[in-house]
């Protein structure tokens, strides 16, 4: 670590302008009130469930962005999610992930999560339409 980086890190740790803990009752390590694995709606012993729920909601939001025209080129969603929010790079991106598991499976999983965790996981209409027509975001390789 360079001298400048050490100085910046030391300033951040001691700065009075550092963000304070939320007073809204928010949960998480930063608030000191546990973390996501303490959530009673999630089986703490099954971290795969938490990982899948996280990938599903991120992929659903990427599909919504395509549906609403926020993302014009689908590859931008892939690159932006992997490099911007840290979506699992081994999946190729959220839209490729949805293509790999299939829109019908994604809709089924999202509905299950919506029943258990709330309406935030409701599948976007673009996925419902794709599942009905058995469509994909990208053409399969070699076609």
CA pair distance 111, 117, nearest whole angstrom: 10
- The tokens describing 120, both together, are 């935030």
Q: How far is CA 8 from the centre of its chain?
A: 30
What stretches in the chain show pLDDT beneath 50?
A: 1-21
CA pair distance 24, 34, nearest whole angstrom: 14
Q: Give the model's pLDDT for residue 111.
A: 93
Q: Give the model's pLDDT for residue 96.
A: 94
Rounded to two decimals, the pTM is: 0.66
Q: Give the model's pLDDT for residue 83.
A: 93
Q: Give the model's pLDDT for residue 9.
A: 42
N-to-C CA span, the chain: 48
Q: Give the model's pLDDT for residue 68.
A: 94
């Amino acid at each position: 670590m360079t001298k400048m980086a050490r100085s910046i890190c030391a300033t951040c740790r001691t700065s009075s302008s550092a963000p304070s803990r939320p007073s809204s009752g928010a949960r998480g390590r930063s608030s000191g009130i546990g973390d996501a694995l303490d959530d009673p709606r999630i089986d703490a012993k099954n971290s795969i469930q938490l990982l899948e729920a996280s990938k599903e909601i991120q992929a659903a939001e990427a599909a919504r962005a395509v549906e609403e025209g926020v993302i014009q080129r689908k590859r931008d969603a892939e690159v932006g999610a992997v490099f911007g929010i840290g979506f699992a790079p081994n999946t190729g991106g959220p839209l490729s992930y949805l293509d790999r598991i299939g829109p019908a499976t994604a809709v089924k999983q999202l509905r299950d999560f919506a029943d258990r965790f709330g309406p935030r996981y409701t599948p976007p209409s673009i996925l419902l339409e794709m599942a009905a027509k058995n469509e994909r975001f990208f053409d399969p390789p070699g076609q």
